[in-house]
Amino acid sequence: MQNRQMGRTLLAAAEAYARERGGTRIRKTVLHVREGLIAWYGRRGYTKTGETEPFPYEDERFGKPLRDDLHFVMLEREIV
């Protein structure tokens, strides 16, 4: 699906949805090890805030992690 621009389409729709409801900023978390994904968001105007969040190791919805050093980085973008 990467070559079909599905991510770009979904991101644009999410930003439009937020904007239509008065939102001025999008904030999201990405696993710190997903360097390619972080770069992809960077090319779309998102920047790292410097904030991090711990990985929820106890939450089974995230599957069984294969490493113990995971955390999320916060990205944000103005959408006005």
List, as one string, the DSSP characters of 13-61. HHHHHHHHTT--EEEEEEETT-HHHHHHHHHTT-EEEEEEEE--TT-GG
Query: What are φ and ψ of residue 65, in 5° steps?
Result: -65, 145
Going by pLDDT thresholds of 50, 70 and 90, the confidence category of residue 38 is very high
* Stretch 38-47: mean pLDDT: 98
Residue 1's pLDDT is: 59
Compute the mean pLDDT over every residue in the chain, rounded to the nearest whole number.
95
Q: Which CATH number is 2-56+66-78 given?
A: 3.40.630.30
Domain boundaries, the chain: 2-56+66-78
Please state the pTM of the whole predicted model. Answer: 0.88
Q: What pLDDT is attached to residue 35?
A: 97
- Collapsing DSSP to helix, strand or coil, 79 comes out as coil
Cα distance between residue 38 and residue 15, in whole Å: 17
Q: Give the residue carrying structure tokens 């944000």.
A: 76
